[in-house]
Structure 1
Amino acid sequence: MSDPAQPPRGRVALVVDGYSPVGRLVCDRLAEHGTAVAVAGPSGLRAAAYCRELQSRRLRAAPYLVEPGEPAAVRRLLNEIAADLGPLDVLVDLIPARPPAFALATAVREVMLGTTRAGRAARIVLAGPPRTAPDVSRWVRKPRIEGLCVNAVTAFGTAPAVHVAGAVLLLLTRDADGITGQRIEVGGTAAR
């Protein structure tokens, strides 16, 4: 059994809202283990600043501005990432706020289906608040596709960023190969 805390090396991951507290934890861990990280979000400046931090540690990262509502913009984004870092293996969308279509995740799923990965499963993990849980659950349970694992994480209330990031990272490990259509709920307790 592989180290469950260690994501596989040599991948390319798009982390939407990668500069948020949860996103930073996910990006740090992925990059430290050899994954090239595309840090994206509605603030290109915040993405660029965080990527400079990663690059100063000699980690491979590039910033991108994401406009998830526009299919043409999503396609351009994915083409840019492929040209800069390589074909996408992983999507971690920390702001899947556009149910039920999830335009970004749907476009990424379509692109991933047309890409060969030499035996490695592609991964999509959507993470968000409880209000998105019903739509996210339906989206991740769409018909299963060989070579593509699609899962979700729901963060409740005061769930610490480290716990949410841990659940996301768990779904990206080799030990999670074959797990698809699932939603992990992460909770927290208020300080006493």
Structure 2
Amino acid sequence: MNDYAYIFAATTVPLFFGFGLVPELAPASVALSFDTKKQVHDGKIYPSRRAHMGFDEAGILYGRLDDPADGDLFRIGIEKHFHLVVDRVHAKTKLSRAALWRLFGDAIAQRFLDAGLRFDAIEAAAMSILKTPASPLANRELHYFNLTQYDRHAKAVRETFRQRGGCCRFYLVKAEPIVPPAC
């Protein structure tokens, strides 16, 4: 769940946050593939997992980050997309649907934080999406907070962090392939 959530968030959030693009997120419009590439680090070869995600070009809409309707469009798209994933993972693991939604919300919030730090605007867009009442993404524990530390010259160094709303435990499940439904 975490792998897919972070891959999905890493692909969709910057498109929306940085460029106002809202891709069609229906499962039939999203392509996801994985591969392994050999990487060299300090003279040693390591396998590196990679993921590639693509969208049907015809389904990309243009919106604005500061337009609540476009934020709703993005939120509704990711909710629709993840309902199937949450249901499948729940059926295989018996981890509660609410816990799975919180894990996904954590991934989206982290990617909003990463993108927001680049564009100097974090909380408004992310929280309007992640705190919508009745949304499965809504979680009262999830938020951003700032820590200030002082360097040796007494200069304040401020950093923004995400407080996760999801569970921090790792669950072990028997590895079984999940076969996607025919679209």
TM-score when scaled to structure 2?
Answer: 0.37
User: Taking structure 1 as the reference length, what is the TM-score of the superposition?
Assistant: 0.35
The structure with the greater share of residues assigned to helix is 2
Rg (Cα) greater in structure: 2
